[in-house]
Amino acid sequence: MEMGRVGRVRSAFSDLRSGDAALLFRALPESLRVDILLTLTPPIAADILEELPDDLAAALVMQISPESAAPIVQEMRTDEETDLLQDISADRAEQILQRVEERDASVARSLLAYHEDSAGGLMESDFIAFSEDMTASEAVQRLRQRADEYEEYPASYLYTVDKNGRLVGVLSLRALIMCQGETPIDSITTRDVVAAPAEMQGQELIKLFRRYHFMAIPVVDASERLIGVVTQDDALRFAEKDADEEMLRLTGIVGGDEFRDMKLRSRSWRRLSWLSINILLNVLAASVIAFYQETVRAVIALAVFLPIISDMSGCSGNQAVAVSIRELSLDRIAPRNFFWVFRKELAVGLINGLVLGLIVAVIAWLWKANVVLGLVVGAALWINTLVAVTIGGLTPLLLRRLRQDPAIASGPILTTLTDMCGFLVVLVLASHFVHLLH
Amino acid sequence: MEMGRVGRVRSAFSDLRSGDAALLFRALPESLRVDILLTLTPPIAADILEELPDDLAAALVMQISPESAAPIVQEMRTDEETDLLQDISADRAEQILQRVEERDASVARSLLAYHEDSAGGLMESDFIAFSEDMTASEAVQRLRQRADEYEEYPASYLYTVDKNGRLVGVLSLRALIMCQGETPIDSITTRDVVAAPAEMQGQELIKLFRRYHFMAIPVVDASERLIGVVTQDDALRFAEKDADEEMLRLTGIVGGDEFRDMKLRSRSWRRLSWLSINILLNVLAASVIAFYQETVRAVIALAVFLPIISDMSGCSGNQAVAVSIRELSLDRIAPRNFFWVFRKELAVGLINGLVLGLIVAVIAWLWKANVVLGLVVGAALWINTLVAVTIGGLTPLLLRRLRQDPAIASGPILTTLTDMCGFLVVLVLASHFVHLLH
């Protein structure tokens, strides 16, 4: 009875593609997941763990014993295995590694040394390389012998290495299939190959994929030895994760992903670390108003327009920030294009500031039947839109020049400066014309 | 002399990978680009046009005659060709198509019918398919005959089709290389194949690639006929473009990309169309202050705290917006998870609102030596942070349920509602305790 049930669960999962099996698995109630995972054969359990979001996979593995985890972890693709071992506690990772085959464990330990967003961290260390002195038919023979294993390899590229394991070139399966058996593979190897050093950053790798459209890029260590392969699939996943994280950083969620099923303390803390800096900057900006409180008391309508000017300048500036971050990430601009960006934003600021200034001027004039009030708030919004779009456009360039992350710091810098400037312009103008504003 | 120069330019470009050739080309002064492009052989010019950003490629093609453009366009990969023809004027596209070979022109015309972000618009219509009644050695034979052409094909998948061109299954080059010559390809064809209908949206395609890690996905028409292939490379480029556009939409840049080398009128207009709605919403929110102007006049310190509360609630709410948009795009939440998101955000709002409220309360208390003022602004920020994170977290879900784009509309809805609520809470509390706040 019990055996029949186990068999049915196993076959339900094994009939599915691993992506679908992971979806089914995630649809299970949380209380059942550990038991079901242990019911499955290690290869299928490994497929599911590979497809689950990293944080969920790590949480599951922490709930099962190292003895049960080891055979599953051993079946995982090396890059996924490394991600998982990095996401669980170091103690538990070590306990699991002590229980996998020595050869696999030492590979995993060496991969753990790379940063997860570097070529070394993204690569798979399973690949097929032939010695440069083989013939095409010897190579095909070897592929046939290792057919099962080879089916697991992600890309169709084969590599040629010298006797020290140094990368000689790339050998396409197409070239291999289309040449005569006695052809030395050396003669069909493409030597002009783009390889990534293990330390290369993920973003740089994406640029290589974007520029050359390779299906995979080989990764080499400091002695040019072939140590792994990054596939387009790895690049796609990194690019999506990177874009998502940039979006989150733009709104001040730092330290990587936030998912709502993470611990409350960590979610709260990540958001707060940025908010608490922001509130101090906000107080700094608003202190400008404190210096002019008598002007505000005399012209109380200003209390209505101050938040509008602050908010609208923030919006205009953030548009310019987003365009700059985008153009930086696509290499369409660089910090040296400072004055070009300045001129381009100045032109937009002049037009948009004029339009927004007119709208707010007409509203103020109609509301208080005071044309001077309209002119003061309209002119202030015009000037401040100009300031906001130029600061917004240029801040990401400056931060990039200073080797800081434009996505996380641009927003707070922008809003503090534009708020201060906006409040100052309104209040200086208003205090100058205060006798006309009653 | 002139010939020698042309030869040197040609060989300079032809020695490079197309990605590098495009980089070199973009480094040329704009005034030279058209002449250089016409100097190159059509295949190299086509490679460069494929690698240039779409808007630059379109601008170049508009500057050369249809007679010069036709042989270049004809050499482009079909998906890139279609993108280009969609980006230039319809007249010019037709003039060019009249000058390319009839067969290519009719393929291009049929591809132009698909939306550029659909599977039909992203696919390449060049692929290799074998009739299901062939043997492995016949298939290999045909591959060898068409080796040159085949080298151009992007992925390693081969397809099997029936006599009506309907997709039967996928045939991996690996399987072909590893079986005996007389094996019918039918027997090594995988029939359980994931194919995309031509109308499938790019975002759905990305999900298929993310779930199954295919190197390519075949595209079929309404009668299940194989009409093209979308590669992982196409998916990577679409995913990057999509993520970038989402970031731009979040800050209110609508209608696709903005690059600073576009026309000023169009850049200004795209930003304004969103800002002008936003300013009206801002005025609406700030009008709450107008109703309480006597309270503000009595307690002028409120004029300092109103912008702070508005801005901080906006920040907290935008964090929740970003997390929801992210979780929606990863299918980790759906509109039906409304109450779960509500509870999760409520918890964060309680904690973060308390911390931020305490900070602002202490500042107000120290500044004006008035503990009631501190309590009023602190409590208001606490309450409004709660409101902002729940509205921020839930708005994207509601917009998705209403089939609207969460990225573009969440921000304005959020800030309007939270500003109104924030101003109201501060001013109602303050007017209640106004005798204690002097």
Q: Kindly tell me if the per-residue pLDDT of A147 is higher than 80.
A: no
Contact yes or no for B173 and A156 at CB 8 A: yes
Three-class SS of A76-116 = CCHHHHHHHHHHCCHHHHHHHHCCCCHHHHHHHHHHHCCCC
Q: Kindly tell me if the per-residue pLDDT of A1 is higher than 50.
A: no
**Over chain B, what is the mean pLDDT?**
89
DSSP state of B434: G
The Cα B241–Cα B230 span in angstroms is: 16
Q: What is the pLDDT of residues B270-298, one digit of tens each?
A: 898 889 899 999 999 999 999 999 999 99
- List, in sequence order, every residue forming a beta bridge with B131; answer none if it has no partner: B161
pLDDT in the model for residue A23 = 86
With vertex at residue B46, the alpha carbon angle to CA B45 and CA B47, rounded to the nearest 5 degrees, is 90
Chain B positions in Cβ-Cβ contact with residue A276 (cut-off 8 Å): 355-356, 359
Q: Which of B206, B213, B251 sits opposite A318 (nearest CB)?
A: B251
**Distances in Å between the alpha carbon of A238 and those of A115, A204, A428, B240?**
13, 11, 50, 11
Q: Which of A177, A253, A276 sits opposite B359 (nearest CB)?
A: A276
pLDDT in the model for residue A423 = 95
- Count of pairs with CB atoms under 8 A, one residue in A, one in B: 332
DSSP symbols for B298-360: HSTTHHHHHHHHHHHHHHHHHHHHHHHHHHHHTTS--GGGHHHHHHHHHHHHHHHHHHHHHHH
The Cα B338–Cα B398 span in angstroms is: 8
Chain A positions in Cβ-Cβ contact with residue B210 (cut-off 8 Å): 19, 236-237, 240
Query: Which of A319, A382, A385 has the highest number of chain B CBs within 10 A, making it the mutation to test binding with B?
Result: A319
Chain A positions in Cβ-Cβ contact with residue B150 (cut-off 8 Å): 174
| Residue of chain B nearest A21, judged by CA positions | B211
pLDDT in the model for residue A367 = 92
Q: Kindly tell me if the per-residue pLDDT of A178 is higher than 70.
A: yes
What amino acid is encoded at A387 in this protein? Answer: V
Closest to A400 measured CA to CA, from A341, A329, A332 = A329
| Residue of chain B nearest A349, judged by CA positions | B268
The Cα B257–Cα B339 span in angstroms is: 35
Q: Kindly tell me if the per-residue pLDDT of A407 is higher than 70.
A: yes
pLDDT in the model for residue B332 = 84
**Distances in Å between the alpha carbon of B395 and those of B275, B314, B337, B413?**
19, 13, 12, 8
Q: What is the average pLDDT across A31-60?
A: 90
Chain A positions in Cβ-Cβ contact with residue B305 (cut-off 8 Å): 286
Q: Kindly tell me if the per-residue pLDDT of A116 is higher than 90.
A: no
Helix (H, G, I), strand (E, B) or coil at A133: coil
**Over chain A, what is the mean pLDDT?**
89
Contact yes or no for A348 and B267 at CB 8 A: yes
Alpha carbon of B419: minimum distance to chain A alpha carbons (Å): 9
**Distances in Å between the alpha carbon of B232 and those of A109, A394, B389?**
30, 35, 37
Neighbours of A225 (CB within 10 A): 15
Query: Which of B308, B330, B417, B423 has the highest number of chain A CBs within 10 A, making it the mutation to test binding with A?
Result: B308
Contact yes or no for B174 and A178 at CB 8 A: no
Neighbours of B152 (CB within 10 A): 9
Residues 6+ apart with CB under 8 A from A8: none
Query: Which of A80, A173, A188, A244 has the highest number of chain B CBs within 10 A, making it the mutation to test binding with B?
Result: A244
DSSP symbols for B138-189: HHHHHHHHTHHHHHT-SSSEEEEE-TTSBEEEEEEHHHHHHS-TTSBHHHH-
pLDDT in the model for residue B372 = 94
pLDDT in the model for residue B3 = 65
Q: Which of B247, B340, B363 sits opposite A322 (nearest CB)?
A: B247
Q: Which two tokens stand for residue B24?
A: 């070199």
Share above pLDDT 90 across residues of chain A, in percent, rounded to a whole number: 52
Q: Kindly tell me if the per-residue pLDDT of A6 is higher than 50.
A: yes
Contact yes or no for A323 and B260 at CB 8 A: yes
Alpha carbon of B381: minimum distance to chain A alpha carbons (Å): 11
Q: What is the pLDDT of residues B69-106, one digit of tens each?
A: 999 999 998 888 998 998 899 899 999 999 999 888 88
The Cα A364–Cα A220 span in angstroms is: 66
Q: What is the pLDDT of residues B156-209, one digit of tens each?
A: 678 999 999 999 999 887 778 777 778 899 998 989 889 999 999 998 998 898
Chain B positions in Cβ-Cβ contact with residue A307 (cut-off 8 Å): 282, 285-286, 289, 306-307, 310, 419, 423
Q: Return the biggest CA–CA distance within chain B.
A: 98
Q: Kindly tell me if the per-residue pLDDT of B257 is higher than 80.
A: no
Query: Which of B282, B356, B413, B420 has the highest number of chain A CBs within 10 A, making it the mutation to test binding with A?
Result: B282
pLDDT in the model for residue A355 = 96
Alpha carbon of B59: minimum distance to chain A alpha carbons (Å): 16
How long a stretch of residues is chain A?
A: 438
Confidence of residue A2 (pLDDT cuts 50, 70, 90): low
The Cα B356–Cα B376 span in angstroms is: 13
Q: Kindly tell me if the per-residue pLDDT of A152 is higher than 80.
A: no
Residues 6+ apart with CB under 8 A from B342: B390, B393, B394
Q: What is the pLDDT of residues A192-249, one digit of tens each?
A: 889 999 999 998 998 898 888 888 899 999 999 999 999 888 888 888 888 888 888 8
Alpha carbon of A304: minimum distance to chain B alpha carbons (Å): 6
The Cα A370–Cα A361 span in angstroms is: 10
Alpha carbon of A124: minimum distance to chain B alpha carbons (Å): 14
Confidence of residue B150 (pLDDT cuts 50, 70, 90): low
pLDDT in the model for residue B140 = 83
Query: Which of B145, B233, B299 has the highest number of chain A CBs within 10 A, making it the mutation to test binding with A?
Result: B233
Q: What is the average pLDDT across A336-365?
A: 95
pLDDT in the model for residue A205 = 92
Q: What is the pLDDT of residues B375-387, one digit of tens each?
A: 999 999 999 999 9
Query: Which of A207, A265, A299, A308 has the highest number of chain B CBs within 10 A, making it the mutation to test binding with B?
Result: A308
pTM, to two decimals: 0.81
Q: Kindly tell me if the per-residue pLDDT of B405 is higher than 90.
A: no
Closest to B386 measured CA to CA, from B328, B345, B426, B434 = B345
Q: Which two tokens stand for residue A264?
A: 């409350």
Q: Which of A177, A290, A326 sits opposite B244 (nearest CB)?
A: A326
pLDDT in the model for residue A78 = 85
Q: Kindly tell me if the per-residue pLDDT of A381 is higher than 90.
A: yes
Q: Which two tokens stand for residue B389?
A: 């994170």
pLDDT in the model for residue A352 = 95
Q: Kindly tell me if the per-residue pLDDT of A154 is higher than 80.
A: no
Contact yes or no for A233 and B244 at CB 8 A: no
| Residue of chain B nearest A279, judged by CA positions | B312
pLDDT in the model for residue B376 = 95
Phi, psi of A266 (to 5 degrees): -70, -40
Alpha carbon of B344: minimum distance to chain A alpha carbons (Å): 7
Q: What is the average pLDDT across B310-336?
A: 90
**Distances in Å between the alpha carbon of B80 and those of A230, B48, B73, B77?**
25, 11, 9, 5
Contact yes or no for B314 and A318 at CB 8 A: no
Chain A positions in Cβ-Cβ contact with residue B48 (cut-off 8 Å): none
Q: Which is more confidently placed, A330 or A287?
A: A287
Q: Kindly tell me if the per-residue pLDDT of A155 is higher than 80.
A: no
Contact yes or no for A290 and B304 at CB 8 A: yes
Question: B65, B98 in Cβ contact below 8 A?
Answer: no
Q: Which of B257, B260, B283 sits opposite A363 (nearest CB)?
A: B283
pLDDT in the model for residue B418 = 93
